[in-house]
Amino acid sequence: MSLLASVSAILAARRSLVVVSQNIASRKQQPLGPDVFTIKRLILFSLFSLMGLLTAAMAPAADAVSKDDAAKWLQYLTPLPREINIPAKLTLKPGEIAVVGDTTASKVIEQAVLEMKQVLTTSAASPEKAAFKITFQLGGPEAESLKALKNSAQAYRIESEAAGRGLRLIALADWGLYYAGKTLQQLVRARTMAQSVEMPLVTAKDWPEMETRGLWGGDSSRNLPWMAERKLNYEENISWMTVDRKTKRGRAAVKPGTEQLLTLGPRMGIEHAPVLLHLEILEGKGIFDVYPDFRGKEGGKPGVICYSQPGVVGLLADWIADLGSQPTVERVDVWMTENLAGKGGCKCEKCKGKNWAVEEARTIIAAWREAQKRKTGLKLRVLTSEATYDDNPAVFAEIPREVGIWYYHSLLTYTARKIPMVDGPVLKEAQSGRWVGVCPALVAHVGVTQPFSSADFIHYRMSEFGSKGLSGMIGYAVPRTLMNRFHVEAAAEWLWNPSGRTPREFTRSWAVREKIRDPEEFVEWQELMGPVEWTIYGSEWPAAEKRTAQPSVAQLLAKARLPELGIFKSEKFGSPWGEFKKPAELKAAASAAGRGVKLAREIGLPEFVQESLVIQGYADSLCALWELKQLVTTDGIAPVKRGPAKAQFDKYERALAQSRTALTDWNRAVSSGFSRGGHVSRTLEILQKMSAQMKETSAGLGVK
């Protein structure tokens, strides 16, 4: 109804009311009958109706939002909701908007309301007088339909109020309400100016595919608001642990400097589970100083624990109980022994002949049961490892169903290989309905810092996890979360909504959120470089060169023993070109990297220019190495072929030198604002050593 029509209706109604009032007045000397009361009720009803008409007439006018404009607006959302529609919008002043919600219900809701007000910069003085109201609603009849959704405690709805007077954010639990707030914040923030707000009259229904989505270690504890913005809800960190020499009691707490995990994190819907470190590397925690009998015996790996000692359960229970008794902590994660270096566990008379992994699992569960007597309701998760891998079925049998399991293996989950990660007993446990999560690396290689931007890689990983029924993922994004922000945000995207965006659509939306000048050019760059990076890093090039247990490629070349393309030694070690199947693929990778360098320079982003140069250097070095493999025999290099060999040795050196320089510049670009750099020194040392080794090989083969 237009303002003119509304006013005309009000005036006509007013005239009718005057006539009715006059009739009542003329009969005021007569006894009042039922008809008079009816008339009075009609008058009151008419007045309220007129007030509603006037309010509607004064409401801000909504503008329709085209499908194209809505699609552009949705690019600012991360992750993309399951169901969302923006048919119209209002243009408001910040002071016309009120934000209301029961902030006493929980700290999470209090934070959600606070963040929404901060996005709007101000709010109306009174909700009753506001032109537009954003209401956070916990529960109620409107929330009932959410109960049918997966992970319903994190699900939410957004509805428009009648006549475009407001938005109602609805959820069954506070986490869901917080996520509803995040979605609206992102939409509003995208189109808020100093004096105006484009408010979407949005409707949405949304829920996450995976229950637990998070990170562990690195600097994740210092990036909680960034994680919360992407609806990540879980963080793990290794705890401070010791043994009190006087009382002989175990003591544990979050590490100094990470206290925000117990305060800010829970307000933002991020659970912190403190970690009890791998049980074979507790030497520095004082355990054997106070309890020397706990040390494993008879040739086992130094540092392992003798689980036949009765006091071990009590000490582990001390640590678990201390960690579980910290404010806001609901569960603790115990990491099983990681690496026995082929020496096994304790081999004393009582332990001899027993399966150490089973004994360790039994000890952990017994300690947790003891800790529950001190902290009622304390929950537990247990992380497996490469040391337990062969015994995982027996370990799973010892762990009660109410205890969650994290699957980790330093060679099989910390990898960029193009193979499925979850199979065998782990897959069987997940599909049986048990809570099973996975701990993958979201980087090129743990401990060897390198640039990596591949939407296809992350989509492949997260799609597998969701399709196989996993309940959680804790990614490892080292050394800095924001250095790996593309991959972490992509993981958050597909753990929440696996069928929402394609890799291409995600990349475009990421470029929009990062304010990249030309998102389409960035998409083109990523589609050039991403597959090349994934193939090189899946082959462990050049990170595998840090392994002292394996010969270097320079040594293998000198003996004419470089592997063929596509080979993975022991099904795990693919250096230098395990993911390349044909020589043409090596040349295509180098060509694509060259085009990527040119495109990155056109985009004008130093971070991605340097990333491209690093990858181009890696690709060129592999091409040179392949050509050298064709020239070197067990008898060395024929004199007639030394000229071509020299050209390839020079190309190899130039390529690694380019990667070293670009890696240093990339680190500088992505570490801007950090107090410390990105720990690329180890990578630079590897590349420098590779150059030195190849110079020795070339000299030994008679090529100066």
* pLDDT (tens digit per residue) in 161-179: 988 899 999 999 999 999 9
- Cβ-in-10-Å burial (0-12, 13-18, 19+) of 657 comes to middle
The answer to whether position 511 is within a domain reads no
The amino acid that residue 256 corresponds to is P
Contacts of 147 (CB under 8 A, 6+ apart): 172
Query: How many domains would you assign to the chain?
Result: 4
Q: For the purposes of burial, counting CB atoms within 10 Å of the CB of 527, is it exposed (0-12), middle (13-18) or buried (19 or more)?
A: middle
Give Dmax (Cα) for the chain: 131
Residues 140, 142, 145, 146, CA torsion sign = negative
**Are residues 134 and 48 both part of a single domain?**
no
Of the residues 381, 408, 435, which one is the last residue of a structural domain? Answer: 408
**Is residue 358 located within the same domain as residue 296?**
yes
Residue with tokens 């004393």: 348
Under 8 Å between Cβ of 244 and 501: no
Contact between 426 and 407 under an 8 Å Cβ cutoff? The reply is yes
Q: Are residues 647 and 691 in the same domain?
A: yes
CB atoms within 10 A of CB 671: 18
Please tell me whether residues 695 and 573 are part of one structural domain: yes
Q: What is the predicted pLDDT for the residue at 673?
A: 66
Select from 206, 227, 257 the last residue of a domain. 206
Q: Per residue, what are the HEC states of 548-569?
A: CCCCCHHHHHHCCCCCCCCCCE
Q: How far apart are CA 217 and CA 238, in angstroms?
A: 7
- Domain membership of residue 370 as a residue range: 239-408
pLDDT, residue 674, reads 62
If asked whether residues 268 and 148 sit together in one domain, one would say no
| Residues 273 and 348 placed together within one structural domain of the fold | yes
The tokens describing 249, both together, are 């009691």
Which residues are registered as beta bridge partners of 534?
none
Regarding whether 387 and 245 lie in a shared domain, the answer is: yes
Residue 453 lies in a domain: no
State whether residue 591 is helix, strand or coil. Answer: helix
Note whether 565 and 672 are same-domain residues: yes
Q: Is residue 219 part of a domain?
A: no
Q: How far apart are CA 437 and CA 88, in angstroms?
A: 40
| pLDDT confidence of residue 675 | 54
Low-confidence ranges of the chain (pLDDT < 70): 1-60, 122-125, 673-678
pTM, two decimals, is 0.91
